Amino acid sequence: MKGRILVVDDDRLTRVALAHQLALEGHEVRDVDNPIPALALLAEEPWDLVLTDLRMPTMDGLAFLRRIRETRLATAVIVVTGHATVQTAVEAMKRGAEDYLVKPVDFDELNIRVEKIMARLALERELRLLRRCPDTPDRYHALVGRSPAMRRVFERIDALAGQASTVLLLGETGTGKDLVARTLHHVGARGGGPFVKTSCAVLSREVLESELFGHEAGAFTGALRQRRGRFELAHHGTLFLDEVDDIPLDLQVKLLQVLEERRFERVGGERTIEVDVRFVCATKRDLATLVKEGRFREDLYYRINVVTLELPPLRERREDILLLAECFLAVHADALGRSNPELTPEVGRLLLEYRWPGNVRELENAMERALALASGPVIAASDLPPAVTGGDARDGCERCLASRESLELKPFLAEAEREAIRWALGRAGGSQSGAAQLLGIPRTTLRDRLAALFAEEPPTTP
Ligand SMILES: Nc1ncnc2c1ncn2[C@@H]1O[C@H](COP(=O)(O)OP(=O)(O)OP(=O)(O)O)[C@@H](O)[C@H]1O
Ligand SMILES: [Mg+2]
């Protein structure tokens, strides 16, 4: 299960190695070299887990732990320590750290411990959701929604859960593809078996290959031990291939074979291994376009595109916005041991009007942030992120207009539009469809605007 992890260690090598390993597992990772910026990050955004050294120059590890507990009750902590400080690690566990690891950290061990914590956090969160949002029938796990669009999703989940067919989940970022993949697994016949997830992004071709297929000892430099891959780990269960569009072309051939035959060999191995796995794939991209561009194999596309389940963006199911907002408030207030605040009518209106490009995830983060900022029993407009209240664009405009003597509207608007497009392309890593989504315009419109506004000099992206 993927989470947001903060790594804190003044030793650069350890820090970078840990962060790299966790990112390989698909987690979202930030690393900082001391507790002070870490506390600032913790105050700003929700984190699932902090991995921290105990001996750091700016703040003692135990003091750091106490501050984390004050700021973020729900964030788990793993202490990473040298042999000399095992005693302190034990002390740290008494004070609320979840676990500890001894340096040099064994990566398999790390993955197991982190996975365990993530699974527990997800379960707790789901239980809280179920308790606080009785509207949702139990069997849909923690999927909240009562819009016609979500009801259709529930019906599809019911219909598909019992089948063995491969399912392709489509939807923008934050629409709940992960949650639906899990729900499909849990409510289906394989619910008692393993649910295994792999993100096909971030990993290099070699890593992804050995991740999926496993390898024999000595298969390549660094393959010291035999390792079972995700196909094997998902035996009698479900394998969720997230961001399936990112699989390198030559691995796509191998994946197609496994999908067709449910058989494969480990990297460097000769024995054919048979598995009984249900595949669920997810993508935010338009696979048909990738096929046309030659970046996704057509045969694989047809193989995984048999049964699709599309998750509607939040702005197309506005009936769910306030319901979800209230659920998230309740859940996070619960976790903090606080009473449940109310939304003012103005906040309700703002939430309904906003476009939510980051969908349910963005709404959940906004509610968690609002809860942290709200001092009393109500959430006010000032507790919402500036993007939601429209403050962003207004502030920016006011600032750049303040020093002007005159203004010609047309070039001013064109420059603002160019700036917005550059920003969106940068944010979306250069992907036009991603940028169009962020801007809330069709991709074709973005293409036209690019041609019109950047005729001489196309925008460069990092
Ligand atoms: N219908 C829903 N009810 C309750 N929570 C939801 C719902 N949909 C999404 N969420 C929550 O919103 C967050 C984002 O959802 P999820 O990770 O499933 O999105 P995703 O489609 O996989 O996004 P990405 O494409 O970025 O990976 C999660 O915390 C998830 O639990
Ligand atoms: Mg996801």
Same domain, 153 and 90: no
Same domain, 49 and 149: no
For the beta carbon of residue 95, count every other beta carbon within 10 angstroms.
12
Average pLDDT, the chain: 87
Paired tokens of 305: 């595109």
Domain boundary among 295, 310, 325: 310
Domain CATH code at residue 357 = 1.10.8.60
**355 CA distance to ligand 2 centroid (A)?**
20
Q: Is residue 444 part of a domain?
A: yes
In a domain, 159, yes or no: yes
User: Mind listing the pLDDT tens digit for each residue in 234-259?
Assistant: 999 999 999 999 999 999 999 999 99
Kindly state whether residue 133 falls inside one of the protein's structural domains: no
Pocket of ligand 1 from Cβ distances under 6 Å:
142-145, 171, 173-179, 284, 360-361, 364
CA of 351 from ligand 1 middle (Å) equals 18
Looking only at the bridges linking them, the beta strands covering 263-265 and 237-242 are: unpaired
The reported pLDDT for the residue numbered 426 is 80
Contact 154, 143 (CB under 8 A): yes
AA letter at 285:
R
> Which residue lies with its CA nearest to atom 26 of ligand 1?
173
Return the residue whose CA atom lies nearest to atom 5 of ligand 1.
143
Q: What is the distance between the alpha carbons of residues 293 and 67, in angstroms, rounded to a whole number?
A: 51
Residues 201, 294 within the same domain:
yes
Nearest residue to 308 via CA among 326, 341, 283, 272: 283
Residues 461 and 430: beta-carbon distance below 8 Å: yes
Confidence of residue 195 (pLDDT cuts 50, 70, 90): very high
* pLDDT band at residue 84 under the 50/70/90 scheme: low
Query: Can you tell me whether residue 305 is helix, strand or coil?
Result: coil
Give Dmax over CA atoms of the chain in angstroms: 77
Q: Distance between CA 215 and CA 209 in Å, rounded?
A: 9
- Of 121, 154, 186, the one marking the end of a domain is 121
Do the domain assignments include residue 165? Answer: yes
Q: Contact, 42 vs 68, CB < 8 A?
A: yes
Q: Kindly provide the b/e burial profile for residues 27-55, where b requires at least 16 CB atoms within 10 angstroms of the residue's own CB.
A: bebebbbbbeebbeebeeeebbbbbbbbe
Specify the residue with its C-alpha closest to ligand 1, atom 16.
176
Length of the chain: 462
Q: Which helix or strand (DSSP H or E) is residue 107 part of?
A: helix 107-132
Q: For residue 129, which atom of ligand 1 is closest to its CA?
A: 4
Does any domain span residue 160? yes
201-239 pLDDT, tens digit each: 866 888 899 999 999 998 888 788 889 999 999 999 999
- Domain span at residue 360? 339-389
- Segment 320-335, tens digit of pLDDT: 999 899 888 888 888 7
> Does residue 262 share a domain with residue 380?
no
Q: Are residues 178 and 300 in the same domain?
A: yes
Pocket test for ligand 1, best of 125, 178, 200, 286 (most atoms within 8 A of CB): 178
Q: Residue 329 falls within a domain, yes or no?
A: no
* pLDDT at residue number 462: 47
pLDDT mean over 67-87: 80
Residues 5-32: tens digit of each pLDDT: 999 999 998 999 999 999 988 899 999 9
Q: Are residues 226 and 368 in the same domain?
A: no
**Is the model's pTM score more than 0.85?**
no
Q: Which pLDDT value is given to residue 140?
A: 56
CATH at 417: 1.10.10
Q: How far is the CA of 311 from the centre of ligand 1 (A)?
A: 10
Q: Minimum-distance ligand to the CA of 177?
A: 1
Closest atom of ligand 1 relative to the 284 alpha carbon:
25
Q: How many folded domains does the chain comprise?
A: 4
In a domain, 42, yes or no: yes
**Best of 48, 140, 360 to mutate for ligand 1, by most ligand atoms within 8 A of CB?**
360
Q: How far apart are CA 98 and CA 76, in angstroms?
A: 6
Crossing angle of helices 345-353/319-336, nearest 10°? 120
249 and 294 in a single domain? The answer is yes
- Positive or negative, the CA dihedral 186, 190, 192, 197 is negative
Report CA(183)–ligand 2 centroid distance (Å): 13
CB of 32 closer than 8 Å to CB of 38: yes
Same domain, 210 and 72: no
Whether residue 299 sits in one domain with residue 220: yes
Looking at the domain assignment, is residue 135 inside a domain?
A: no
Nearest ligand for residue 146 CA: 1
pLDDT of residue 458: 66
Q: Whose CA is nearest to atom 12 of ligand 1?
A: 361
For position 56, which CATH number holds? 3.40.50.2300
Q: Is 305 in the same domain as 211?
A: yes
What local confidence, expressed as pLDDT, does residue 10 receive? 92
Q: What percent of the chain has pLDDT over 90?
A: 42
Q: How far, in Å, CA of 412 to CA of 415, rounded? A: 5
Q: How far is the CA of 62 from the centre of ligand 1 (A)?
A: 34
Kindly tell me if the per-residue pLDDT of 339 is higher than 90.
no
pLDDT of residue 141: 59
Q: Would the pLDDT of 128 be above 70? A: no
Q: Which of 135, 146, 179, 365 to mutate to test the pocket of ligand 1 (most atoms within 8 A of CB)?
A: 179
- What CATH code is carried by the domain that includes residue 201? 3.40.50.300
Q: Is the pLDDT of residue 138 over 60?
A: no
- 263 and 187 both lie in a single domain: yes
Distance from residue 435's CA to the centre of ligand 2 (Å)? 18
pLDDT higher at 310 or 127: 310
Domain end among 121, 136, 163: 121
Q: Rounded to the nearest whole angstrom, what is the distance from the C-alpha of residue 171 to the centroid of ligand 1? A: 10
Q: Are 159 and 104 contained in the same domain?
A: no
Give the pLDDT score at 59: 86
